[in-house]
Amino acid sequence: MKKISGVYSAPRPHWVGDGFPVRSMFSYDSHGAPMSPFLLLDHAGPANFEPANRPRGVGQHPHRGFETVTIVYEGEVAHRDSTGAGGLIGPGDVQWMTAASGILHEEFHSQAFTEKGGALEMVQLWVNLPAKDKMANPGYQTLLDADIPSVDLPEDAGRVRVIAGEYQGHKGPARTFTPMDVLDVRLHQGSTAGFDTRDGYTVALVVLHGTVMVNGDTVVRGGQFVLFHRDGQGIEVEANSDATMLLLSGEPIEEPIAGYGPFVMNSQVEIEQAINDFRSGHFGEIPA
């Protein structure tokens, strides 16, 4: 099995805009190369919002050089961007946005959720792009819950939704630039599950809710993630309570990371170019 490199706890939560109270489980500032190709993961909520007249969220902002993956557990989020794409994602749905050469977008609570109020919980994962693809055309994938394979674990242990990559012969709908698996895992209390992972790949298990025992000797609780050494080919997880987790596995991108806010490139020169391009209006406009 893969040996555990470390267990890490999320810092105190902070607000993104006025609609998303998040904990940054990891970022390229805190973990960098060992987490490649994954750059950042924010866990928003769960939080309850009162009914309102104006949607809360994050207004127009740019990205370049990577992809954002938004997974909704509760609530409903509306998206619009400068490619003309947009729409709503609700519980179980995933938004996979490729910023690449540059995109402007905005994310708000949907109008229906705003008027009704209720619980909101979601995750946003940033996935790096290799240098050769950082200036590719931006794009957008809406992955609805009904289109994401859900695989029952043996002995009624739980289930795995395959967002990207493959699990037990089931392929996820997301198109990716580099090989990776993004698995939404639910494990029932008292159950154990093993996961085959590729030798040489980055592997991390993010625990959003519950408490689990990993590889028979390490306890990981909600708000923590465990990072594994790249050598080896499997991990084992036992749930001490009902658990919700993300299992991330990917081929490392062995390239420098230069980041500044919403831009992630390979050099400071490219960051400065991204800032200049944004200020010059090269990222386009979000249609009215």
Query: What pLDDT is attached to residue 177?
Result: 98
To the nearest whole number, what is the mean pLDDT of the chain?
Answer: 96
Query: What pLDDT is attached to residue 185?
Result: 98
Determine the average pLDDT of the residues in 57-85: 96
Query: What pLDDT is attached to residue 164?
Result: 98
Query: What pLDDT is attached to residue 90?
Result: 97
Q: What gap in Å lies between CA 91 and CA 69, rounded to an integer? A: 14
Query: What pLDDT is attached to residue 135?
Result: 98
Whether residue 288 has pLDDT greater than 90:
no
Query: What pLDDT is attached to residue 86?
Result: 87
Query: What pLDDT is attached to residue 21?
Result: 96
Of residues 149, 146, 173, the one with CA closest to residue 160: 149
Structure tokens at 188: 């029932």
Residue pLDDT, tens place only, 216-239: 999 999 999 999 999 999 999 999
For 133, which DSSP code?
Answer: G
- Counting beta carbons within 10 angstroms of the beta carbon of residue 47, is it exposed (0 to 12), middle (13 to 18) or buried (19 or more)? middle
Contact 88, 142 (CB under 8 A): no
Residue with tokens 């609805």: 144
Determine the average pLDDT of the residues in 8-34: 94
Whether residue 274 has pLDDT greater than 80:
yes
The one-letter amino acid code at 1 reads: M
Query: What pLDDT is attached to residue 91?
Result: 98
Residue pLDDT, tens place only, 23-39: 999 999 999 999 999 99
Determine the average pLDDT of the residues in 156-180: 98
Residue pLDDT, tens place only, 252-262: 999 999 999 99
pTM given for the model: 0.96
Q: What gap in Å lies between CA 200 and CA 228, rounded to an integer? A: 11
Whether residue 109 has pLDDT greater than 80:
yes
Determine the average pLDDT of the residues in 87-103: 97
Determine the average pLDDT of the residues in 134-147: 96
Query: What pLDDT is attached to residue 229?
Result: 97
Determine the average pLDDT of the residues in 40-62: 96
Determine the average pLDDT of the residues in 142-171: 97
- Counting beta carbons within 10 angstroms of the beta carbon of residue 52, is it exposed (0 to 12), middle (13 to 18) or buried (19 or more)? middle
